[in-house]
Amino acid sequence: MELKFDHIKKIYGRQTALDNFSATLSEGVYGLLGHNGAGKTTLISILIGILEATEGSILLDGIDVKQMGSQYLDRIGYLPQYPLFYKNFRTDEFLKYMCALKGIPKSQVNSRLEEVLELVNLTDAYKKKVGALSGGMRQRLGIAQAILNKPDILVLDEPTAGLDPGERIRFRNIISRLSKDKLVLLATHIVPDVEYIAKEILILNKGQLVMQGSPEQLEKSVEGKVWDIIVDEEEMEESVERYQVRNVKRLEKEYSLRIVSDEAPPGRSMPAQPSLEDVFLSIFEK
């Protein structure tokens, strides 16, 4: 399977939300990384057919998705950033309702519900009302409805926003399991959400694709530019003003700083192993 974005542009009045976005994706997890307002949701909205691009096209296996119509939409599962549920529905009622909307034959509904509930670890919540579920459980319910139709392409927009660390880890593990035979596009501004599960990261900044590659490839872009330094309070204030500082940690009498800089900063500095957060900082804090 090949999903190709071919020079996608989206203009609202005088504002360009996406500018000449091109990328080719296949099976696996892709992280769409960028600040709020970078263009992530606009790109997703074009991908799932909510918005129409001003210029450019999207091709699935070489065919323009506009020509595919409902056949294309049948291959997509989508979890929006702010999913809305009928809180008085039980979990099973909501999923049966979604099965009806997605055109899943009645003969397959019960087996499909059993399958997806087990996958997202909601089997015990089968008869609970949606309004009684925790935030993390509702997000997992959102994934369940997105995969009911066995989509080839799963699109997740800021899926872990507001979740506690345990639920975020559980969520990432579910996504990794789902990616075996699917293309998963996960849009987020939270670096750890994609750092360990994405085979490639696409970084958007002001509507432009500024970097694409595996986490390891992106980390090499700041190799030799990441430093851990120890400074006193006065030097700490100067460093924060002068450099791209990722972390500031107070020690007993001094401060430990993580800095991204082309040159070694003054003070007791040591080269550090780059991470994806250092890459993110180098792009968005300039």
Please tell me what DSSP assigns to residue 161. Answer: T
> SS3 of 91, please?
helix
pTM, 2 dp: 0.89
Each of the 286 residues of the chain gets a pLDDT tens digit; together they read 999 999 999 999 889 999 999 999 999 999 999 888 889 999 999 999 999 999 999 999 999 999 998 899 999 999 998 888 888 999 999 999 999 999 999 999 999 999 999 988 899 998 999 999 988 888 889 999 999 999 999 999 988 777 788 888 888 888 888 888 899 999 988 888 888 889 999 999 999 999 999 999 999 999 999 999 998 888 888 888 888 888 899 998 899 999 999 888 877 889 999 999 999 888 876 5
Token code pair at residue 121: 């670890």
Q: How far is CA 74 from CA 69, 94, 101, 227, in A?
A: 9, 19, 11, 48
How far, rounded to the nearest angstrom, does the alpha carbon of residue 66 sit from its chain's CA centroid? 25
Residue 286: predicted pLDDT = 57
Token code pair at residue 47: 């991908």
What distance in Å separates the CA atoms of residue 175 and residue 171, rounded to the nearest whole number? 6
Residue 285: predicted pLDDT = 67
Token code pair at residue 286: 């300039």
What distance in Å separates the CA atoms of residue 103 and residue 149, rounded to the nearest whole number? 8
